[in-house]
Amino acid sequence: MRNCPSCGSDNWIKNGSIHNGKQKYQCKDCGRQFVDNPKNAPISSYTKELIDKLLLEKIPLAGIARVTGVSERWLQYYVTSLRAVHRITMLILPNHYFYRTTDYW
């Protein structure tokens, strides 16, 4: 069973085909379109770390999506889940995340 290359979901629908006849799919969770291709991989932790840093720089989501190659819809989904994580992080370790990550640059 294939999974969405963006979010790993297996909740997808068939969505036509591309020029060479390969089946195209669309993820119902994040909206990402993808073809049946073994090179597709979930978004790496490196990319997610990069996104975290770009978000702290207050770069618009559209810009982050262009730089990192993820879809804006996935990014929106990711940011929403990130905010939930931050609420927990800040309760346990106040200031830790925000002060430490601003030193990266």
Binding site for Zn ion (CB under 5 A): 4, 6-7, 9, 27, 29-30, 32
CB of 21 to Zn ion, least distance (A): 23
Min dist CB 78 to Zn ion, Å, is 11
What is the Cα–Cα distance from 62 to 57, expressed in whole angstroms? 14
Side-chain half-sphere CA neighbours of 76 within 13 A: 8
Question: Rounded CA gap, 82 and 53, in Å?
Answer: 12
Q: Of 32 and 51, which has the nearer Cβ to Zn ion?
A: 32
Give least dist CB 37 to Zn ion, A: 15
Neighbouring residues of 92: CB distance < 8 A, sequence distance ≥ 6: none
| Rounded Cα gap, residues 82 and 59, in angstroms | 16
Which of these, 77, 75, 95, lies nearest to 86 by C-alpha position? 95
Residue closer to Zn ion (CB basis): 27 or 64: 27
Closer of 10 and 57 to Zn ion (Cβ): 10
Write down the least CB distance from residue 2 to Zn ion, Å: 11
Cβ closest to Zn ion, residue 4 vs residue 75: 4
